[in-house]
Every structure is written in structure tokens, then in C-alpha cells.
Amino acid sequence: MMFQTVTRALLLSSMTPVCRSGVTVRRYCMKNPTKLRVSEAFLDAQVGENVRIQGWVRSFRPQKQNLFLHVNDGSSLKSLQVIAPAGMNDPLLGFGCAVEVKGILKKSPHSKQPVELEAEQIRVIGECNPVDFPFKIKERHSLEYIRQFLHLRCRTNAFSSLLRIRSEATAAVHSYFKNNGFLLIHTPTITSNDCEGAGELFQVEPPGTTFANEGSFFSVPVYLTVSGQLHLEVMSGAFPRVYTFGPTFRAENSQSRRHLAEFFMVEAEISFTESIEDLTKVMEELFRSVTESVLAHCEEDVDLFHKYVAPGHRDTLDDMLRKSFPVITYTEAIDILKRSSETFTFPTDWGCDLMTEHEKFLVKHCGNIPVFVTDYPYDLKPFYARDNQDHPKHTAAAVDLLVPGVGELCGGSLREERLDLLRSRLGECGLEDTYSWYLDLRRFGSVPHGGFGLGFERYLQCILGVDNIKDVIPFPRFSHSCLL
């Protein structure tokens, strides 16, 4: 009985009217503001709601009677306009600072913005001195300029757009593979394999040890991975379709616009296939599926790049999506290069590797859309590429996808599943002992299979028209540079 009395007293107390400036408010009627992301604030259903927004001030304009500021929280390229009485001005309120704003969302009288927030409270959470801040209000900074400030460039429109696009593209890659029956494999970052055979490897050594010591950590030389392909081939002995998506590393001493020491690769392996066309089909479908998803969900962000970074590139991208990707052989590619009037820096003889200048020319020759080049010289390809056993030109069942503005985007091949041919090739390379486990894959239930890798940063360059690969990755690593 006493408990009921106390409870009733507390309830009556909570319903007691409270007088504030002559206005009676019942506590149980007060509604806490709904926390919204800026992107959600633009939905019609939110108009008239009492809301709370947290973000960073992208513009600030004090006037005699009102304050006007735009707040962005990274969820959208658009910022939300906030209007407040001049009395709410705070000495710390300004461009770049972090704020929390509470108020009522209302329809805006201006056509350029569907809603605006009438502020009832503005709280500065993190101050920012606009004089010292490297990005200035109403200035359009180049990608080269903002690249100097890796720790701050996510605050800019261009790079926040890039990160939303990158996130959407990542999700779309996983979605494509899941919808097409591929199993995700987490391949290792540390490996004893040199998949590419190029020797551009970062060797991993614990402090104070050498591989000559018996006490070395792994007892064998180990490296940061250049590819997850060989590990995917292991898994393709039990699963017909597998893929991986993660960081890979190359110790290439280059600071060019095309090279990174750490970058991301999408790699896939398909079992029970004896056809290059099975690989090109997946490459083309993946490119189209991911790009269509990015355009559907990040249209404004993509438009920013096509308007300010690469004007006119949207027409090129639309052509890529509208037209089928042509297929030519390496031999046909060499003939095209030799017949052209172009002067190339590198040789174009049969047997020479295609360089970036050759790849870009071939793309333009084929209509400035992606083009597959197949059947490369056998000696140009790694030990695992399937021997076509054709003469007099000896080729491998390999394929590259070349795209506008970039050159090679994907590289792949059918894998040599014939044990005798593979053993002979490894013997020629002096690798038979090192890759004895790889021969086991062919001895126990082997099937014809093939796969490819796609450079994720190069893909982003391709669809956005970005010239420098360092501008499409959050924290670029390259020779003589590892900031943060």
C-alpha cells in the first residue's frame, strides 16, 4: 500500500505544470528532438518535426537580425541551411567548427533547398579557427592542394564525395559477388608466396632478427601480399566460385600518378571453366553492376567530379555502360599499333609487353570504351597461366581489360591445370620445390579454372575521371611517403 502511495505521488509530481516565462508546460508532454542525419532531414516526412542535427559548419553568414549557416555531417553532399536569431551568435561559431543544432524543420521558400532548420538552440562542440584552417570558405581547392592535408581533406566536398562513392562501390562489389554465388575468402596479408614473380615485395621481419637466424619469427622469408590469387586457387578446389577484396602491396620505387605501395584488389576465381569468355563475362558484369549502383546511390557525388574534376567524362562513362566491350587478341593489338601513325616511346614488336601508352591508344582506337585483349605471349605471363600450345606464336590463355584514361584495369587468365605442363614450367623457373603444394592442387581433384584481379583505385579513377591514383584512396602510401 505504501508503494502505491509513493508511486502515485511521483506520478502527480511529474504532471505538475511548470511555469516558464509565463508559459505553462507539462513535463510529460515535452518531446525530445529527434536526432537526424542531414541526408534524412531532406525527406518530406520530417517537415514540422523538432529535430537535432550534429555536424560541421560549411558556411557561416551573420546578419543584423539572423544568422545563416550550412551544416554538413558527411551523409550527403548537400548541407542543411540553419536560420537562427542574431542573438544566438557565439564567438566560437564559424566556418569549420562542430555544432549541435536543435530546432524545427520547415519548408524553405527557396527553390534550391527543400527544407531549412529554424534553430532554437546552437551549441558549439568543437571550435575551429578559420584563419589557421587550410580550407577557406567559398574557395574551390584543387585535388592537388587538399592532398597536402591528408588528416583534414575528408572535410572538403570533393573528398567526402569520393569517400561516399568508394563506400558505395565497395558494397556493390560484395553485392555482385553474393548475388552470383561467390564465396568471400579472407586471404592473408602476410604470405610466403610471390604470386606475380616480379620481385617487388615488402619483406616482413620482426625487429632485431634476420632470416639467417634459426630464431626468425616464421622460419621462412615472408612478405606483404601482392595478390590473393594463389590462396583463392586453394579454395577453388572446394568451392566453384570464390573472391577476395583487400589490400595488396608493391615495393615499386615510384611516385608517379599511377602507382601506390598499398592499394586494394578485387580478385575472383572460377572453377569448371575452360573458356576465357567465362572470365570476361564476369569482369564486364562486375564493372557494369558496380557502376550502375554507384550512379544510382551517389549521383550528386559523381556529378561533382564530372563537373569540376573531369568535365565531359559523364558522356564517356555513359558510352562504357551503353556499349558492349569489344575483344581483340594481343596479336591484333600489335597490328593496330604498328599500323598507326602514332609515335610510341616503347617498342611495339610482337613479344613486347603492352605499356600504358599502348593500352590507352588501343582503348581510343576501339571507340574509347573498355576493351579486352586476350592471348598474350606465353613468356610474358606467370607460371600459372594456361599454355595455349599454339605455334609458331606461343601464347597463354590470358586476358586484360583496358579502360579509358587508365589503361589496364583487370588482368586474368585460365590457370594451367595440366600437371605435367605445370611441373615442367615450374622446373624451368626453378620453383618446383617452392610450389610443391601448388602441384598438389593439380594431383587431387583438379578441375579447369581461371580468375582475375581488378584494381579498385583504378576502377574509381576510370568512372570519375581522376588523373592521380593518390586522390581516390583515403591514405595513399608510396615511395618516400607514409603520412599518418
How confident is the model at residue 197, as a pLDDT?
Answer: 55
Q: How many CA atoms lie within 13 A of 40 on its CB side?
A: 11
**DSSP assignment of 178-198:** HHTTPEE----SEES--SS-S
Question: Does 118 share its domain with 157?
Answer: no
* Cα-based distances in Å from 166 to 51, 245, 284, 381, 392: 29, 13, 19, 31, 45
Q: Is the pLDDT of residue 199 over 80?
A: no
Give the angle 266-267-272 at the CA atoms, nearest 5°: 150
pLDDT tens per residue, range 103-150: 999 998 887 788 999 999 999 999 999 999 999 988 889 999 999 999
Mean pLDDT of the chain: 90
Quick one: pLDDT at residue 212?
A: 56
- Ranges of H-type helices in 118-188: 143-146, 157-179
> Given pLDDT bands bounded at 50, 70 and 90, which one contains residue 158?
very high
The model's pTM: 0.90
One domain, residues 90 and 178: no
Whether residue 46 is predicted with pLDDT greater than 70 in this model: the reply is yes
DSSP character at residue 415? B
Based on the domain organization, do 95 and 200 belong to the same domain? no
Say yes or no: 228 and 315 in one domain: yes
Q: Is the domain of 92 the same as that of 164?
A: no
Take residue 458 and report the three cell numbers written for it: 583504378
Distances, alpha carbon 266 to alpha carbons 106, 177, 248, 442, in Å: 45, 10, 10, 25
Asked if pLDDT for residue 237 goes beyond 50, the answer is yes
Which domain does 404 fall in, by range?
Answer: 153-471
Ramachandran quadrant class, 375 (left: phi over 0; alpha: psi -120 to 50; beta: rest): left
In a domain, 9, yes or no: no
- 327 and 233 assigned to the same domain: yes
Q: Are residues 163 and 56 in the same domain?
A: no
Give the CA distances from residue 468 to residues 168, 310, 329, 476, in Å, rounded to whole numbers and listed in that order: 20, 12, 29, 11
Torsion angles phi and psi, residue 154, rounded to 5: -65, -10
Confidence band, pLDDT 50/70/90 cuts, at residue 253: confident
CA nearest neighbour of 95 among 51, 140, 61? 61
In a domain, 90, yes or no: yes
Return the minimum-mean-pLDDT range out of 27-36, 156-165, 219-228. Answer: 27-36
Give a yes or no: residue 60 inside a domain: yes
Residue 13 lies in a domain: no
- On whether both 413 and 345 belong to a single domain, the answer is yes
Domain count for the chain: 2
In a domain, 3, yes or no: no
Using a pLDDT cut of 90, give the percent of the chain over it. Answer: 77
Q: How far apart are CA 283 and CA 268, in angstroms?
A: 9
Over the Cα atoms of the chain, what is R_g? 29
**Does residue 6 lie within any of the structural domains?**
no
Would you state the pLDDT for residue 4? 44
Residue 138 covered by a domain: no
What is the average pLDDT across 37-59? 90
Share above pLDDT 70 across residues of the chain, in percent, rounded to a whole number: 90
In a domain, 8, yes or no: no
pLDDT of residue 16: 43
Domain stops at, among 89, 110, 126: 126
Residues 310 and 388 in one domain: yes
Q: Are 62 and 210 found together in one domain?
A: no
- Tell whether 265 and 332 lie within a shared domain: yes
Q: What is the CATH number of the domain that holds 67?
A: 2.40.50.140
For residues 429 and 409, the model is more confident at: 409
**Residue 82 and residue 174 in one domain:** no
Q: What is the CATH number of the domain that holds 224?
A: 3.30.930.10
